[in-house]
């Protein structure tokens, strides 16, 4: 049964990928990319990778189609046919494919319990993490403690991306410059959207907090929580206008918080350095090593959550602010309605994944 | 605190980057960045001393032992590369304030320095780590910040160059990720030393072979080895001058380090050079790269672009050194790593001064510069001579070792081609000399480049001369590092 | 006894839910224009999700999962109609025409006749962005 | 630690076993090729980015498949369960997904800027504009130029 599900999902993924490659309408491609993300999240679920499925649902089916749609709103949705590069592409892709096929020749069978990947390092995590770290979610143990430094790198990557987008899309004069256009038209006048958005935002935030602090026991953690938290803000921004959401969290504040999250994570590491242990050795944080691990993991997950939420909100601000620069004039209201559906789906997918 | 040096090396700039956003004022941020860079330089000097005195250092991050946690492992090779990266970054940053305040608008300067620090930290992280997946993470930190830094260039082409680099770089990084995945699948570990212990038993496995191929191609994309170099000239010629100087002096060096680390330490000399025809491939690609890139360089009107192609050619020399596959040849590669960083750092900084005064770096800007900007022009000429490989400059030292290694292995044709390649360098450097010294200045009022840029540029150029005469330090360190790679690699 | 009854009901609900979901999908593919397609997607979507989740709740027993499923149900009851509403509003806003005219007279989407029918998210929404 | 052994299909039965046991990997390979093909062949920048996403996601699917153990559950410790999927690939892919979205965001921001600067997001148009800009530069006074 499980195998059947697996085969069906992968076949669907393949079909989706092929149709993305073939379709000329970019908006349809973006939506198919969202479906692709959702399907792969489903696949990860069947593979038992619940944390990954959660993240992929939030990113692959949520944030990334949202950003693509925002980009398309600025760049147009039609693609011109271009057959020139097809031969070159085939010429490059076929050897890669051949190499990959050759590589499968000596691979261990799928799902084998005695494959080398399952034998060497991983058993230690499964058998020892309860004694050494004391939390049931092994993925969180490995993520936050055994390989906590990778996760620090991951937070810095997100921070870098936020800064990169900032450096690309910020106005030349300054960062906090007020927008030129009058605001009256900026918010959706649709009563249904406004009411539902108001009703939903509080539970979304609550859910984000739940995911943030439940990561030790179930799927979830700082990254997923940060994304959901940001989604709450994005929904607010989409319905009530960019200015309204900026009044809640100004651009400068968001920028500041994105740095603070990284600093929190790093400071935990520096604390353990200061007490003579290795960088990010949480056992230095309390007299009992296991409770030290607990404290450390909660602290760094908080750092991750803050940075991720801040960067996602910042990226949304920057992309959305670009829409106002459109020479065609204010196109905010329809845009809100257009992308709101995407957000609603996104939020529901996240809920489903949780 | 001395035992924490390996992590401090990376964590200093990494933590300093978000702090920049909190400081906010561009001048202060520059000062702060500069201090951090010099602190990192001090750390790397201490590290090199420690490693030289007492052998490789291993640092367990999070207090978890090696195959389970992430390990930093500093040996002579990475200590050497760390020193190069931090030293060049410090020199480039000294010049940054003058150049950046001219080339970038005030609002973007803070973000610029933050991204610079992130890129710097990413490069250091790649070099310091002993964990294959950690390499990928830090590779992405440095890459993402590099894309953003390049896109800060004033010309709109900077955007397109950055996009092209982003696509190629991401494909490269994903290839590396695939390779690491294959390795993990076959061995169950991500630690480099642990991988090195497992791979000899698996050398017949096609999966490991494919892993090697993917990692090799992925790194070569980042390294801009000849047929995969297409992103480099655009990226270098469109980026802000300081970014070009920094990337040319450090980024490709780190990619080359990664190539050495994977071929020699992880896969082992036996696997990479004996088992596979990698030596022929590398010599071939390297030499073709030298000739193709040098020839194209001769016809470039934009001098930044010309030097970018020259970088591709110089990478060719380094790769030839790996391909010859002896300790001497490897030493030549490691020497050239250092020397090329000095040359290109100095040359691109001098160009930054030129751009500061003239607003561009096309060949017509050079007319008569020998008279109007004598010091800047002199720096460029000395750097160019070093690039050609004339005696008394560092360029000579590394080429000498390379030719000696080729002759040692009876590869006469390689030696001859290396010399011929240098002649092509004469051709493109001569164009500058001719324009600057044998033509009339278009505009007599042009002033010398500001001291803020000229001094660091001359510092690097002087280093070109100094290490060309007193070769003890680099030769000693690289000899030991090359020995270490050949001796300590295959267990 | 109760158990088998419960599982029987839940199986029935799941089956019905899947059936409606399928009809909705077929509707999206087969219906001629945006509004009817949206009708097919929106109405069946809400009903089918309701049936499927109720079916799952019956099998979950008294547990945390039941509670979570209930929350998801509540969430979807809010979002799914709202999403349909938002779509219809934007279609109305840009005075989207019915297909007979639209494919012939819309210069912006010359390829729309050849391209395969759009997926569950109707592509027409973004036209609003471009027209205003 | 047990020495890893080399897997050979010759000692593991007929071809259909091979097909079933590596089904995931075949699909992953197909997805990778489609993604890479899109990145290279598509002229539209947004389409390239979507292709890059597919390419990266296929690698994620590969990693997660590596970590799968038949009959094992999610790697969350619970009483009475002894068999868990391998948590390490999950952790690696969590990081990789984040890296992927970071790259996507940056690439899309670049696309917006490119649209502003060149008026198009088709590679052909941009290349044409570049060539035009190259030709528009004045003829060079120094003799060696082409």
Hey, how many other C-beta atoms are within 10 angstroms of the C-beta on D59? Answer: 22
Question: What does the pLDDT read at residue D141?
Answer: 38
| pLDDT classification of C106: cutoffs 50, 70, 90 | very low
Tell me B159's DSSP state. Answer: H
Hey, how many other C-beta atoms are within 10 angstroms of the C-beta on B413? Answer: 11
User: Does residue C113 surpass a pLDDT of 50?
Assistant: no
Q: CB of B465 within 8 Å of any CB in chain A?
A: no
Residue ranges of chain D with per-residue pLDDT less than 50:
1-16, 138-146
Q: Do D6 and B144 touch (CB under 8 A)?
A: no
Give me the domain span that covers residue A70: 1-78
Chain B neighbors of D92, CB-CB under 8 A: 133, 184, 190
Burial B25-56 (b: 16+ CB within 10 A, else e): ebeebbebbbebbbbbbbbbeebbebbeeeeb
Residue B57, strand partner residues: B74
Question: What does the pLDDT read at residue D39?
Answer: 92
Q: Is D81 left (phi over 0), alpha (psi -120 to 50) or beta?
A: beta
Burial class (CB in 10 A: 0-12, 13-18, 19+), D23: middle
Question: What does the pLDDT read at residue A340?
Answer: 41
Q: Which of C111, C121, C131 to mutate to test the interface with A (most CBs of A within 10 A)?
A: C121
Report the alpha-carbon angle B184-B187-B191, nearest 5. Answer: 65
- CA distances B487 to B50, B78, B258, B490, C132, Å, are 20, 16, 18, 7, 69
Mean pLDDT of chain B: 91
Hey, how many other C-beta atoms are within 10 angstroms of the C-beta on B23? Answer: 18
Considering the domain boundaries, does residue A141 fall inside one? Answer: yes
**What are the per-10-residue average pLDDT scores of chain A (354 residues)?**
85 94 90 94 91 92 92 85 77 91 85 85 89 90 92 95 92 49 54 88 92 86 92 90 87 92 93 89 88 92 95 93 63 38 44 41
CA distance B245 to A328: 40
Question: What does the pLDDT read at residue A172?
Answer: 60
Q: Which of A48, A129, A152, A224 to mutate to test the interface with D (most CBs of D within 10 A)?
A: A48
Question: What does the pLDDT read at residue B50?
Answer: 92
Q: Do C82 and A344 touch (CB under 8 A)?
A: yes
**Domain residue ranges of chain D, discontinuous segments joined by +:** 17-70+84-136
Among the three residues A29, A62, A78, which one is the final residue of a domain in this structure?
A78
- Is-contact A50 D76, C-beta < 8 A? yes
User: Does residue B55 surpass a pLDDT of 80?
Assistant: yes
Question: What does the pLDDT read at residue B137?
Answer: 96
CA distance B394 to B294: 19
Q: State the pairing for strand pair B71-74/B57-60.
A: antiparallel
Q: Which of D13, D59, D74, D119 to mutate to test the interface with A (most CBs of A within 10 A)?
A: D74
Considering the domain boundaries, does residue A67 fall inside one? Answer: yes
- CA distances C61 to A99, B104, C56, Å, are 50, 64, 9
Question: What does the pLDDT read at residue D5?
Answer: 46
Query: By C-alpha distance, which of B38, B138, B120, B130 is closest to B77?
Result: B130
Q: Which residue of C has its CA nearest to A76?
A: C130
Q: Whose structure tokens read 């039609």?
A: A78
Neighbouring chains to A with at least 3 Cβ pairs closer than 8 Å? B, C, D
Model confidence pLDDT, tens digit, residues B285-323: 999 999 999 999 999 989 999 999 999 999 999 999 999
User: Which range is least confidently modeled, A119-133, B123-137, B350-364, C105-119?
Assistant: C105-119
User: Does residue B376 surpass a pLDDT of 80?
Assistant: yes
Q: Which residue of D has its CA nearest to A119?
A: D2
Q: CB of B201 within 8 Å of any CB in chain D?
A: yes
Tell me B368's DSSP state. Answer: T
CA distance A243 to B448: 49
- The architecture of the domain spanning D17-70+84-136 is Orthogonal Bundle (1.10)
* Chains A+B touching (3+ CB pairs under 8 Å): yes
- CA distances B325 to A22, B288, B483, Å, are 47, 18, 12
User: Does residue B485 surpass a pLDDT of 90?
Assistant: no
Considering the domain boundaries, does residue A240 fall inside one? Answer: yes
Cβ neighbors of B112 (< 8 A, separation 6 or more) are A167, B100, B104, B149, B152, B240
Q: CB of B439 within 8 Å of any CB in chain D?
A: yes
- Can you read off the two tokens belonging to residue B102? 């001219």
Mean pLDDT of chain D: 80
A148 plus A72 within the same structural domain: no
Question: What does the pLDDT read at residue C98?
Answer: 55
CA distance A8 to B182: 25
A56 plus A152 within the same structural domain: no
A143 plus A74 within the same structural domain: no
pTM of this prediction? Answer: 0.91
Indicate the length of chain D as a whole number: 146
DSSP string covering A167-225, please?
Answer: HHHS-SS-SSPPPSS-SGGGS---HHHHHHHHHHHHHHHHHHHHHHHHTTTSS--HHHH
Domains: count for chain A? 2
User: Does residue C34 surpass a pLDDT of 70?
Assistant: yes
User: Does residue C63 surpass a pLDDT of 90?
Assistant: no
Q: Whose structure tokens read 């391998």?
A: D86
Residue B58, strand partner residues: B73
- Is-contact C84 A332, C-beta < 8 A? no
Q: Which residue has the higher pLDDT, D114 or B270?
A: D114
Residue D73, strand partner residues: D84
Question: What does the pLDDT read at residue A347?
Answer: 45
Q: Do C109 and A192 touch (CB under 8 A)?
A: no
Model confidence pLDDT, tens digit, residues B395-413: 999 999 999 999 998 889 9
Burial D41-57 (b: 16+ CB within 10 A, else e): bbbbbbbbbbbbbbbbb
Q: Do D45 and B163 touch (CB under 8 A)?
A: yes
How close B446 gets to chain A, by Cα (Å)? Answer: 29
Q: CB of D103 within 8 Å of any CB in chain B?
A: yes
Question: What does the pLDDT read at residue B169?
Answer: 94
Burial class (CB in 10 A: 0-12, 13-18, 19+), B1: exposed
Under DSSP, is residue D6 helix (H, G, I), strand (E, B) or coil? coil
Question: What does the pLDDT read at residue C41?
Answer: 83
Considering the domain boundaries, does residue A333 fall inside one? Answer: yes
Q: Do A338 and C68 touch (CB under 8 A)?
A: no
Query: By C-alpha distance, which of B421, B420, B264, B399 is closest to B327?
Result: B264
Among the three residues A29, A60, A78, which one is the final residue of a domain in this structure?
A78
Residue B362, strand partner residues: B302
| Average pLDDT estimate for B457-480 | 91
**Domain residue ranges of chain C, discontinuous segments joined by +:** 2-97+107-131
Q: Do A170 and B108 touch (CB under 8 A)?
A: yes
Neighbouring chains to D with at least 3 Cβ pairs closer than 8 Å? A, B
Interface of C with A (CB under 8 A): 68, 71-72, 75-76, 78-80, 82-83, 85-87, 89-90, 93-94, 108-109, 111-112, 115-116, 118-121, 123, 125-126, 128-130, 132
Cβ neighbors of B65 (< 8 A, separation 6 or more) are none
Q: Which ranges of chain C would DSSP assign to H, the alpha helix?
A: 2-30, 34-60, 64-93, 99-105, 127-131
**CB nearest A117 (choices: D31, D46, D86):** D86
| pLDDT classification of B488: cutoffs 50, 70, 90 | low
Model confidence pLDDT, tens digit, residues B60-87: 998 898 889 999 999 999 999 999 999 9
């Amino acid at each position: 049964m499980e195998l059947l599900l697996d085969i069906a999902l992968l076949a669907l993924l393949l079909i989706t990928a092929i149709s993305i490659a073939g379709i000329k309408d970019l908006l349809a491609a973006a939506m198919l990319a969202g479906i692709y993300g959702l399907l792969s999240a489903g696949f990860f679920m069947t593979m038992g990778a619940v944390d990954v499925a959660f993240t992929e649902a939030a990113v692959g089916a949520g944030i990334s189609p949202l950003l693509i749609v925002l980009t398309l709103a600025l760049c147009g949705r039609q693609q011109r046919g271009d057959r020139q590069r097809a031969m070159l592409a085939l010429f490059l892709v076929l050897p890669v494919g051949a190499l990959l096929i050759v590589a499968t020749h000596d691979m261990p069978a799928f799902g084998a319990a005695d494959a080398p990947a399952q034998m060497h390092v991983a058993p230690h995590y499964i058998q020892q993490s309860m004694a050494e770290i004391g939390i049931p979610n092994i993925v969180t143990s490995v993520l936050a403690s055994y390989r906590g430094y990778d996760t620090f790198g991951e937070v810095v990557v997100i921070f870098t991306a936020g800064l990169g987008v900032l450096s690309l899309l910020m106005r030349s004069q300054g960062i906090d410059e007020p927008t030129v256009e009058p605001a009256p038209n900026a918010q959706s006048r649709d009563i249904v959207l406004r009411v539902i958005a108001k009703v939903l935002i509080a539970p979304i935030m609550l859910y984000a907090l739940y995911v943030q602090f439940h990561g030790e026991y179930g799927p979830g953690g700082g990254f997923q929580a940060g994304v959901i938290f940001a989604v709450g803000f994005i929904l607010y921004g989409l319905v009530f206008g960019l200015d309204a959401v900026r009044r809640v969290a100004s651009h400068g504040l968001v920028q500041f918080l994105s740095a603070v999250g990284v600093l929190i994570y790093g400071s935990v590491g520096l604390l353990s350095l200061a007490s003579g242990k290795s960088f990010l050795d949480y056992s230095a944080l309390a007299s009992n090593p296991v409770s030290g691990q607990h404290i450390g993991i909660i602290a760094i997950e908080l750092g991750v959550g803050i940075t991720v939420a801040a960067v996602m909100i910042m990226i949304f601000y920057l992309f959305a602010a670009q829409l106002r620069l459109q020479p065609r004039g204010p196109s905010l209201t329809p845009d809100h309605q257009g992308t709101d559906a995407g957000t609603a789906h996104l939020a529901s997918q996240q809920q489903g994944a949780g | 605190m001395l035992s924490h040096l390996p992590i401090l090396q990376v964590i200093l700039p990494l933590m300093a980057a978000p702090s920049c956003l909190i400081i906010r004022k561009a001048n202060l941020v520059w000062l702060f960045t500069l201090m951090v860079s010099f602190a990192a330089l001090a750390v790397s000097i201490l590290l090199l001393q420690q490693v030289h005195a007492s052998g490789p250092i291993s640092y367990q991050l999070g207090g978890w032992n090696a195959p389970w946690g992430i390990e930093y492992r500093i040996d002579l090779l990475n200590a050497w590369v760390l020193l190069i990266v931090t030293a060049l970054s410090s020199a480039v940053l000294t010049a940054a304030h003058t150049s950046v305040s001219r080339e970038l608008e005030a609002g973007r300067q803070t973000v610029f320095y933050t991204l610079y620090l992130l890129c710097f930290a990413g490069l250091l992280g790649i070099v310091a780590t002993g964990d294959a997946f950690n390499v990928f993470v830090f590779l992405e930190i440095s890459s993402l910040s590099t894309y953003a830094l390049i896109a800060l260039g004033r010309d709109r082409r900077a955007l397109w160059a950055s996009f092209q680099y982003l696509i190629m770089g991401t494909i490269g990084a994903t290839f590396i990720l695939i390779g690491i995945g294959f390795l993990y699948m076959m061995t169950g570990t991500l630690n480099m030393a642990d991988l090195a212990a497992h791979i000899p038993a698996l050398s017949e496995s096609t999966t490991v072979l494919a892993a090697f191929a993917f990692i090799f191609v992925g790194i070569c994309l980042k390294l801009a080895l000849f047929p995969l170099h297409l992103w480099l000239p655009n990226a270098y010629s469109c980026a802000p001058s300081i970014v070009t100087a920094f990337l040319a002096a450090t980024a490709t060096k780190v990619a080359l380090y990664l190539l050495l680390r994977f071929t020699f330490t992880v896969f082992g000399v036996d696997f990479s050079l004996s088992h596979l025809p990698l030596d022929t491939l590398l010599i071939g690609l390297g030499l073709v790269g030298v000739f193709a890139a040098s020839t194209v360089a001769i016809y470039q009107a934009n001098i930044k672009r010309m030097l970018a192609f020259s970088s591709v050619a110089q990478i060719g020399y380094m790769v030839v050194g790996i391909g010859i596959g002896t300790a001497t040849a490897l030493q030549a590669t490691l020497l050239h790593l250092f020397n090329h960083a000095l040359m290109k750092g100095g040359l691109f900084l001098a160009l930054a001064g030129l751009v500061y005064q003239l607003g561009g770096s096309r060949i017509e800007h050079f007319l008569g510069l020998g008279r109007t900007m004598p010091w800047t022009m002199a720096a460029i000429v000395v750097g160019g001579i070093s690039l050609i490989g004339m005696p008394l400059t560092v360029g000579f030292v590394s080429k000498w070792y390379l030719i000696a290694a080729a002759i040692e292995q009876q590869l006469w044709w390689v030696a001859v081609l290396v010399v011929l390649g240098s002649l092509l360098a004469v051709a493109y450097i001569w164009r500058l000399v001719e324009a600057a010294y044998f033509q009339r200045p278009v505009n007599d009022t042009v002033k010398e480049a500001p001291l803020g840029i000229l001094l660091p540029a001359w510092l690097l150029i002087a280093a070109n001369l100094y290490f060309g005469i007193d070769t003890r330090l680099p030769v000693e360190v690289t000899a030991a590092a090359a020995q270490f790679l050949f001796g300590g690699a295959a267990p | 006894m109760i158990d088998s009854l419960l599982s029987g009901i839940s199986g029935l609900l799941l089956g019905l839910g899947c059936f409606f979901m399928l009809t909705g999908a077929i509707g999206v593919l087969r219906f001629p224009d945006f509004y009817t397609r949206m009708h097919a997607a929106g109405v069946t979507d809400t009903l089918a999700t309701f049936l499927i989740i109720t079916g799952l709740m019956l099998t979950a027993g008294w547990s945390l999962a039941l509670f979570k499923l209930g929350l998801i149900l509540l969430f979807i009851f809010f979002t799914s109609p709202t999403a349909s509403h938002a779509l219809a509003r934007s279609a109305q806003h840009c005075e989207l025409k019915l297909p007979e005219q639209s494919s012939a007279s819309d210069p912006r989407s010359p390829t729309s006749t050849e391209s395969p029918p759009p997926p569950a998210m109707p592509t027409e929404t973004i036209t609003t962005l471009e027209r205003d | 630690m047990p020495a890893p052994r080399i897997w050979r299909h010759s000692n593991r039965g007929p071809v259909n076993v091979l097909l079933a046991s590596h089904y995931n990997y075949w699909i992953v390979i197909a997805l990778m090729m489609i993604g890479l093909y899109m990145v290279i062949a598509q002229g539209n920048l947004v389409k390239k980015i979507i292709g890059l996403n597919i390419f990266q996601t296929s690698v994620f699917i590969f990693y997660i498949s590596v970590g799968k153990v038949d009959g094992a559950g999610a790697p969350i410790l619970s009483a009475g369960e002894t068999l868990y999927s391998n948590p390490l690939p999950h952790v690696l892919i969590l990081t990789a997904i984040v890296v992927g979205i970071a790259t996507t965001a940056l690439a899309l921001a670049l696309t917006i800027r490119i649209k502003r600067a060149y008026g198009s997001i088709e590679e052909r148009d941009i290349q044409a504009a570049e060539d035009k800009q190259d030709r528009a530069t004045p003829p060079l006074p120094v003799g060696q130029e082409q």
